[in-house]
Chain A
Amino acid sequence: MPELTYLEAISDGLRTEMRRDESVFCLGEDIGAFGGAFKVTAGFAAEFGPERVLDTPLAENAIIGAATGAAIEGMRPVCEMQFADFIACGFDQLVNVAAKLHYRQGQSVPLVVRLPSGGGFSGGPFHSQNPEAWFLQAPGLKVVAPATAADAKGLLASAIRDPNPVCFLEHKGLYRHVRDEVPAGEYTVPLGKARVAREGGELTVIAYGSAVPSALAAAEALEEDIEVLDLRSLWPLDAEAILATARKTGKVLIAHEATRACGVGAEVAALIGAEAFEDLDAPIRRLTAPDVPIPFSPTLEAAVLPQLDDVKEACGELLAY
């Protein structure tokens, strides 16, 4: 099985789906001749033509709106936000039009919004955000956030084939730093299913996206009996897997890079508190960014984004509880 980076796996998944189904097309800013800000679609215009790798004006609502209309008419559009932060400029079309059409009108809207997200490289307050929680308050959107290259490919394929709007959060910090075995050819990973990334019995770290490699690294470094559950899908949440691991270990640390208040971690904690309270041996802990914008300067940014030592410390405290 070939090893690919997370970035290459996204390209591979997208290319495979475009070869499989001619209704799949990409649209976004600078994705054609330039191949995208992160080169996910490098070479696509040459293979698929400029119509299916459509360079758009700098207008995010126009991108999401066009994708919505095209999806209604039977296409499978994949929108690229140049950075996840810019979904704010296309938010109206996403949450008011695309997300609600099936509930209101019975109209399926099969579109994907790719969202290069996350910080760690001095992107500052407008190129580093993790906006996933915004989408969880908009019923009708599915939300996925892969942590491995294989999942990046498989979840993207499932997102493209899903008949609903799907927000695909691809963490920029993983693009070239995560590399793993990725099945060649067509490959899907089901939406709504979490993955046990590491088996353990004393403590569970529930994580997604960039927090997954951190959690795995912390578990290895601590040499403790730690389980790591990779959520993969943030909506729908895999409640069954979350509750199973919470009941199994009795101690839960929820880790994500996004800010804390009303985040995914809050929802997961509430679920465990309501359904698995009797099985807990310690209070549920969250390790997240504090509720501040992501600052620019490296020292400030490092003070905000959860670091490996923070994960180790939080795990150690919970294990000792």
Chain B
Amino acid sequence: MTLSDASAVMGAAVPLDPALLTRADRAELLRYMTMMRTAEERALSLYKQGKVPGSFYDGRGQEAISVGAAFALSPRDRLCILHRDLGAHFVRGVTPDRYLANYMGRADGVTGGKDGNLHFGDRARGCVGMVSMLPDMALVANGMALAMKMRGEARVALTFFGEGSTANGQWHEAMNFAGVQRLPVVFVLENNRFAYSTPNELEFAADPVERAEGYGLPGAEVDGNDVEAVFAAVHAAVERAREGGGPTLVECQTMRMHGHGAHDDMGYVPAELLAKWEARDPIQSYAARLLEEFDFADEEVERITEEVRAYVAECAERALASPMPDPALAREGVFADRWEPLGDGAAPWSGWAEPTAPQPIDNRVERRAA
């Protein structure tokens, strides 16, 4: 059997108009990717210190996908974010303290201790939290898109899933329903080469992006380690959906650089495969590109890294100071008393005509009300 390797990587299928991204946008893309990497490294150290109940999951190596995709969304768009996509939460305005507190089961985590790791969605920022069953959220994203379509709104729902999800029957249900109804939904597929330990070759006979046409929707394949390529493909898909053109499947080729969880030593991954992808690290390669192509100075890139590190360290202190939830809360909240709308997320891309509140590096998030 031949294992998938870096040769699967494609060039950007959707050309990016360079004017779409300003210099400040590019700094933001680097900053959010760095924030995801730094926060996940901090969470991993907390796990190793025994402060994280359960296991630990991250998206190392996949930072360009969640950041690039979420960056293309407007405030009123909606997301279902998965467990390798921390960057999307940060783009929408979730702060690392709430992410770290969630991992530790603390009261100030996004779910207040009701659910763990990345099983959260910040309602106030237009997100619906994932469940472990995959790709269940694709069907929920369809429903949000259906509501938008029924009301004639120029809005979009976006969801992520891995290539492992495409083997499940619900993936077929989701693609088919979206295609039939021409829903304003964007499916971002992260092909990170492995579903836990199962390689692509044992997952499917036909690559998922090739199946898109069979559902009556376009598929785009991009280099998932190139944040601007992801942004370009998702931006095009979002625009298309917003204009009534229906759904798009964007397959991002990437590599899961850590195990499925921290308990997984990845003994099944050939060292040379990891080495190939290590050389294509999305953050380092983007930083290099900013220096070479976009006239960034070394100090600028270093300053972003240093600011993010200091910010995440500060967030970690806040998370560690957060109390464990009151045990009495375990019996509360099964039923709702009333329906409330999701809030709108941050949309830091300069391309949005409607200005959004800037996201200062030291922004604090109010303590989550119990």
Q: Give the interface of A toward B (CB within 8 A).
A: 25, 51-52, 56-57, 59, 61-62, 64-75, 77, 92-93, 96-97, 100-110, 139-140, 142, 163-164
Contact = CB atoms under 8 A, between A and B. Distances in A.
A61 B173 contact: yes
Contacts of A71: 143, 339
B145 interface: yes
A110 B339 contact: yes
B139 A105 contact: no
Contact of A106 (B123, B137, B150): B123
A291 to B, nearest CB: 28
A108 to B, nearest CB: 4
Contacts of B129: 101, 104-105, 107
A107 B128 contact: yes
Contacts of A70: 143-144, 146-147, 150
A222 B170 CA distance: 52
Contacts of A65: 136, 138-140, 142-143, 170, 173-174
Question: Which 8 A-B pairs give the minimum distances between C-beta atoms?
Answer: A69-B143, A65-B139, A73-B147, A108-B336, A66-B143, A62-B173, A69-B144, A59-B173
Given A62-B176, A65-B174, A70-B150, 11 more contacts: A69-B157, A71-B339, A72-B144, A73-B78, A74-B339, A75-B146, A102-B333, A104-B120, A105-B111, A109-B336, A163-B339
Interface in B113-152: 114-115, 119-121, 123, 128-129, 131-133, 136-148, 150
Nearest to A27: B146
Nearest to A111: B143
B365 interface: no
Nearest to A55: B180
Interface string B332-357: 01111111111000000000000000
A56 B143 contact: no
Contact of A73 (B137, B138, B148, B176): B148
Tier of interface size on chain B: 35 or more
B139 A96 contact: no
Contact of B139 (A62, A104, A106, A163): A62
Contacts of A62: 139, 142, 170, 173-174, 176-177
Contacts of B338: 108, 163
A25 B151 CA distance: 12
Given A57-B173, A105-B129, A67 B143 contact: yes
Given A68-B143, A97-B136, A104-B114, A140 B335 contact: yes
Contacts of A106: 123, 333, 336
A25 B114 CA distance: 31
